[in-house]
Structure 1
Amino acid sequence: MTDDRAQVQNFFSARAAEWDSRFPDDGPAYAAAVHELGLRPGDAVLDAGCGTGRALPALRIAVGSGGTVLGADLTPAMLEAALRAGREASGALLLADAARLPLRAGALDAVFAAGLISHLAHPEQGLSELARVVRPGGRLALFHPLGRAALAARHGRVLSDDDLRSEPRLTPLLAESGWRLDSYADEDSRFLALAVRTG
């Protein structure tokens, strides 16, 4: 395992048991973001970096019983927390690196990714891998229940245009990775960038 992957696993392993209780009010924000992804009944969707699986119930509602919902995460402790919360009832859980997914090309209609981009060691490579597994015209949601300014304040940092999630950085990064930015919202109460798979 690379040092970058080990760092991510160590960070989330130490926090997995208390993760949901630390952020108990995020459910409606997740559901609203999933709604904006525009899923249809029968679609196949991946929650990349699913953590404790908080988006999985909303994703299941969106695609219905005939759809496919997958949750992939690099950290076993986060997937164990998802199991304890009963979220495997909404989707299959996979222990997998979002930058190297065990899925065939074009297998999915969409990807939902909450907080993932800042944990990718190589963001362009990771976003390219997400593009690989989504059909042309499929969609990507990069989400966080806090906007950039609120998140920077929570962590005691100054907001910077160098942030991967700033629109001037994100737009070309997505374009180089097989995506076209379709909409961008950065508010105190949420961050949501929606992109369409090109090609």
Structure 2
Amino acid sequence: MTEDHRRVQDFFTARAADWDSRFPDDGPAFAAAVGSLALGPGDVVLDAGCGTGRALPALRAAVGPGGTVVGMDLTAAMLESAVRAGRDRSGTLLLADAARLPLRTESLDAVFAAGLISHLSRPGPDLSEWARVVRTGGQLALFHPIGRAALAARHGRRLTDDDLRAEHNLRPLLARSGWRLDAYTDEDDRFLALAVRTS
């Protein structure tokens, strides 16, 4: 395990028990973001960095009982919180690294990732790994329940041009990693980048 992985695990382990209570009003934002994906009955979707599983019920509703929902996270304590919240009933929980997914090539219809991209130690290779497991024409949603400026303000930082999630940085990064950015929204109450897996 790398030092970056340990840092991420330490950060989220310390916050797992009260994560949902810190952000109690995010549910509708997660549901709306999932709704922006063109998921259908029977689809197979991964929630990468699922945390406490807040997107899992909406993902289950989108793919129906015949679909497959996998929630993956690097931090066991976050997955334990997902189980306590009953969200394991909406999907299979998997303790794994987003950079090395234990999934077959082109086995998914979509990847949903909430708040994860800023925690990736190697964004380009990691996005390429997600592209590997998604079929051509499949989708990627990079989501956060608040926009870049609001998030920076929350953490007492200035928004800078080198922010990975800025459209001028994200679009070429995705293109180099097997994705085409199709829609980009960065508002105070939502960040959402939708991309399609290219051939």
Interval of TM-score (by shorter of Structure 1 and Structure 2):
over 0.9
Q: Secondary structure at the match of 1:101?
A: coil
Give structure 1 stretches of 5+ with no counterpart: none
The alignment of Structure 1 onto Structure 2 pairs a total of residues equal to 199
Whichever residue aligns with residue 66 of structure 1, its letter is: G
Q: Secondary structure at the match of 2:18?
A: helix
Are 2:24 and 1:31 aligned? no
The equivalent residue for 1:74 is 74
Equivalent-residue separation in structure 2 for 1:127 and 1:26 (angstroms) = 25
The equivalent residue for 2:147 is 147
The equivalent residue for 1:193 is 193
Whichever residue aligns with residue 48 of structure 1, its letter is: A
Whichever residue aligns with residue 22 of structure 1, its letter is: R
Equivalent-residue separation in structure 1 for 2:28 and 2:155 (angstroms) = 23
The equivalent residue for 1:64 is 64
Equivalent-residue separation in structure 2 for 1:119 and 1:195 (angstroms) = 19
Whichever residue aligns with residue 143 of structure 1, its letter is: F
Equivalent-residue separation in structure 1 for 2:161 and 2:51 (angstroms) = 27
The equivalent residue for 1:22 is 22
Equivalent-residue separation in structure 2 for 1:158 and 1:133 (angstroms) = 35
What TM-score results when the alignment is normalised by the length of structure 1? 0.99
CA deviation after TM superposition for structure 1 residue 17, in Å: 0.2
1:52-94 CA distance string (max 9 Å, x none): 0000000000000000000000000000000000001000000
The equivalent residue for 2:166 is 166
1:41-62 CA distance string (max 9 Å, x none): 1100000000000000000000
Q: Secondary structure at the match of 1:41?
A: coil
The equivalent residue for 2:127 is 127
Percent identity of paired positions between Structure 1 and Structure 2? 77
The equivalent residue for 1:96 is 96
Whichever residue aligns with residue 132 of structure 2, its letter is: R
